[in-house]
Amino acid sequence: MHLERIEMTGFKSFADKTVIEFDKGVTAIVGPNGSGKSNLSEAVRWVLGEQSAKNLRGKKMNDIVFAGSQSRKPINIAEVTLIFNNEDRTLPLDFSEVSLTRRINRNGDSDCFINRKPCRLKDITDLLMDSGVGKDSFSMISQGKVEQIFQNKPEERRAIFEDAAGVAKYKNRKTSAERKLSETMDHLDRVQDILHEIE
């Protein structure tokens, strides 16, 4: 799976419809200060499920809608679509191309779509869960994150490696299995007590 294309309109500094194609391999985005490089990476993170306006350098989520410039009026809707090549079926959908869209208007109303069909944001984050792509996964490494990794405690750093190695989901499953086991043991104890009372 790889990101093939981004289409966006009205997102931060990208007032007009902007389409960016990514070839396989490495793509570098270069440009002068303030030209929108970080806005582009934030557009990706937003569609992947970012829910914190602060992480998108805003106060509220609709701050991401193009707010106007000296030469242009503000726009009412921001929309970003990520198009993934899914020929290897990394995403569990039987489509060779999967598009994920997020839209918000100035009132704060927002919509999400998978392959242009309306869905909840949770459907997008669930779809991405085991794919290694997600707003918190290491497919997105923001400027501060590298520094943060160096400053982490050893156990926090270990969690990063476990996540990258795909161990995290098994750890989560183990924790939930242990919780269920402990609940079942409690129930068994109670059954034993009742049996004693009856005898």
Binding-site residues for ATP, please? Answer: 32-39
Only segment of 57-65, 119-127, 129-137, 185-193 that touches ligand ATP (CB under 6 A)? 57-65
Q: How far is the CB of 134 from ligand ATP (least distance, A)?
A: 21
Site string for ligand ATP, 3-42 (x = CB under 6 A): ---------xx-----------------x-xxxxxxx---
Q: How far is the CB of 108 from ligand ATP (least distance, A)?
A: 14
Beta strand ranges found along 106-170 (DSSP E): 110-114, 117-119
Sign of CA dihedral 14, 110, 53, 45: negative
46 binds ligand ATP per the rule CB under 6 A: no
Beta bridge partners of 3: 84
Neighbour count for residue 116 (Cβ, 10 Å): 8
How far is residue 147's CA from residue 111's CA, in Å, rounded to a whole number?
34
Number of helices followed by number of strands (H, E) in the chain: 5, 6
Question: Measuring CA to CA, which residue among 135, 117, 141 is closest to residue 49?
Answer: 135
Binding residues for ligand ATP restricted to 120-179, rule: CB under 6 A: none
Q: In one letter, which amino acid is 161?
A: F
76 binds ligand ATP per the rule CB under 6 A: no
Q: How far is the CB of 60 from ligand ATP (least distance, A)?
A: 11
Question: Measuring CA to CA, which residue among 135, 101, 91 is closest to residue 2?
Answer: 91
Q: How far is the CB of 35 from ligand ATP (least distance, A)?
A: 4
The structure tokens listed for 7 are 């289409």
Q: How far is the CB of 11 from ligand ATP (least distance, A)?
A: 8
119 binds ligand ATP per the rule CB under 6 A: no
71 binds ligand ATP per the rule CB under 6 A: no
Interacting residue ranges for ligand ATP, rule: CB under 6 A: 12-13, 31, 33-39, 63-67
